[in-house]
Amino acid sequence: MTQFSESKDKQLKEDASTYLVQRWEPSERQKPLVMVKGEGLYMWDAAGHRYLDFMSQLYNVHIGMGNRVPIEAAKKQLDELAYASPSYFSEPQVRLAKKLAQITPGDLCQTFFGNSGTEANEVAIKLAQLYREASKIIGFWDAYHGSTYAMVSVGGSARNRQFRGLSIFEEFKHIPSPYCYRCPYKKTYPECELICADFLRYTIEKEGDNTVAAFMAEPICSWAGQVVPPEGYWKRIREICDEKGVLLIFDEVMTGFARTGKMFACEHWGVVPDVETYAKGITCGYVPLGACIINKKMADHFDQKGFPHSYTYSGHAVSCATALAVIDLYEKEKLADRAAKMGAYMMDELRGMMERVPIIGDVRGLGLFMGVELVKDRETKESLFPRELSAEDKKDPDKNPMQYFTGKIKENGLIVGSSWNTSILRMMPALVISKEQIDEGLQVLEQTLTETMIKFSL
Ligand SMILES: Cc1ncc(COP(=O)(O)O)c(C=O)c1O
């Protein structure tokens, strides 16, 4: 039984501040929570406060906490064979690679395993550069693909790129994502004729077709604002990549594994990438794992040439055994269908909430991959995030409505994701969520939005 106490909670928070490197933008006013227990969609901090999680922790615990299936699979594998050197293969690693080849679209067929989404993406661009004998990678502005140097460079997120002294690979280029709500070209779909997709062709030509190895993107770009692309977008991008001989890499670290209502998000548009990457939902956080899968023509190439890359924990036996058990759960419990159904219900409820809460500017998403964009004014679409404030004032909940909202909603017992320097909320609960839990969470959301409107006279 987990023991809760206010004094234990206080001590853990103090020790967390003293002994752990503080990530991202530390704020005196918003001490991190220290969680000690998880069950389904609920988490408890050390003081015993309960939180309903609409963020699946870091968008990865698709099956909720405390599920015995991955726990037993990991325990069994630890007993049998905890680890095999990457010079050999373990049985779960081989079985998982075969399973991925079976469930992924098109001719994606050979996998390299690492420990995280970042590593999977590093592998993807290295494979692409070696295959194409070209170094440039094009990605979306405002995207996030991980925090290592190469990923900071390919992801166009200003949050990662703002620091002086950080090494950025300048030859990685960016194009705007298909963010229709705030189209950078000031166009409207479908009259726009997908000018944003055509900008990829323009960029490749300006850079030189033979210098570009790949275009890398999430099928639904999360950091840029839960950007669901308009119909025809990915088909056009695929055509441009084929025309130019540039590889298409999909980062499905967040969108993959039933989250959007399909096993992989690219299936919504019938577009098959040359390379695809996974992490998060592949093991649902029970153990770490990342994977990068390539198509047949690349597999044939690397069968001949080999791939100069390895980690001590590539294809860790316990992680692969856990992933097999988790994938089995997705299939047996038809979790992609469930995500589609629950997502449709939640979307309807959120659209209904728009009638009562004027600061909701837009609701968008697919399955249980959803975004809510907050605005001061629906007509002008002025963002609720006050860009004009100084960095210090942005951290102040009395000056920044997003900071106030983020703290308040936690106090009210709901965890939702927010996107740095924007007023976009990510609503991505575990796929096993019930209608009652959706109602419970949305009630807290509406209450907290109302409290925010009252505080800032919106
Ligand atoms: C789309 C996407 N790619 C890559 C990553 C990096 O994955 P990891 O944190 O497992 O290294 C993330 C993490 O949030 C992500 O959302």
- The protein residue whose alpha carbon is closest to atom 13 in ligand 1 is 146
Helices and strands (H and E) in the chain: how many: 15, 16
- Work out the pLDDT band at 200, boundaries 50, 70, 90: very high
Distance from the alpha carbon of residue 118 to the mean position of ligand 1, in angstroms: 6
Structural contact between residues 164 and 256, judged by C-beta atoms closer than 8 angstroms: no
- The protein residue whose alpha carbon is closest to atom 9 in ligand 1 is 117
Quick check: CB of 118 below 6 Å from ligand 1?
Answer: yes
For the CA of 279, the closest atom of ligand 1 is 10
166, two tokens: 């950080």
Distance from the alpha carbon of residue 354 to the mean position of ligand 1, in angstroms: 30
Buried b (16+ CB within 10 A) or exposed e, 351-380: eebeeebebbbbbbbbbbbbbbbbbbeeee
- Ligand 1: residue of 56, 59, 62, 118 to mutate (most ligand atoms within 8 A of CB) is 118
- The protein residue whose alpha carbon is closest to atom 16 in ligand 1 is 254
- Work out the pLDDT band at 414, boundaries 50, 70, 90: very high
For the CA of 252, the closest atom of ligand 1 is 1
Q: What's the mean pLDDT when you consider all of the chain?
A: 95
Distance from the alpha carbon of residue 62 to the mean position of ligand 1, in angstroms: 15
- Work out the pLDDT band at 1, boundaries 50, 70, 90: confident
Percent of the chain surpassing pLDDT 70: 99
Can you tell me the distance from the alpha carbon of 46 to that of 7, in angstroms, rounded to the nearest whole number? 9
Q: Answer whether residue 420 shows pLDDT above 80.
A: no
Can you tell me the distance from the alpha carbon of 346 to that of 427, in angstroms, rounded to the nearest whole number? 9
Can you tell me the distance from the alpha carbon of 134 to that of 153, in angstroms, rounded to the nearest whole number? 16
For the CA of 218, the closest atom of ligand 1 is 1
Q: Which residues contact 343 (CB under 8 A, 6 or more apart)?
A: 260, 261, 365, 366, 367, 368, 369, 370
Can you tell me the distance from the alpha carbon of 82 to that of 204, in angstroms, rounded to the nearest whole number? 46
Query: Is there a cis peptide before residue 190, judged by omega within 30 degrees of 0?
Result: yes
Quick check: CB of 258 below 6 Å from ligand 1?
Answer: no
Write down the H helix ranges in 81-165.
91-103, 117-132, 149-154, 158-161
Q: How far apart are the first and last CA of the chain?
A: 45
Structural contact between residues 41 and 415, judged by C-beta atoms closer than 8 angstroms: no
The residue ranges of every structural domain in the chain are 6-54+334-455, 68-332
Quick check: CB of 121 below 6 Å from ligand 1?
Answer: yes
For 391, the 3-state DSSP assignment is helix
The domain made up of 68-332 is a member of CATH 3.40.640.10: yes
Quick check: CB of 143 below 6 Å from ligand 1?
Answer: no
Distance from the alpha carbon of residue 274 to the mean position of ligand 1, in angstroms: 19
DSSP track, 393-430: HHT-TTT-HHHHHHHHHHHTTEE-EE-TTS-EEEE---
pLDDT in tens, 315-369: 999 999 999 999 999 999 999 999 999 999 999 999 999 999 999 999 999 999 9
Quick check: CB of 146 below 6 Å from ligand 1?
Answer: yes
338, two tokens: 């469930």
DSSP track, 188-249: -TTTTTTHHHHHHHHHHHHH-GGGEEEEEE-SSBSTTTSBPPPTTHHHHHHHHHHHHT-EEE
CATH of domain 6-54+334-455: 3.90.1150.10
pLDDT in tens, 38-55: 999 999 999 999 999 999
pLDDT at site 156: 87
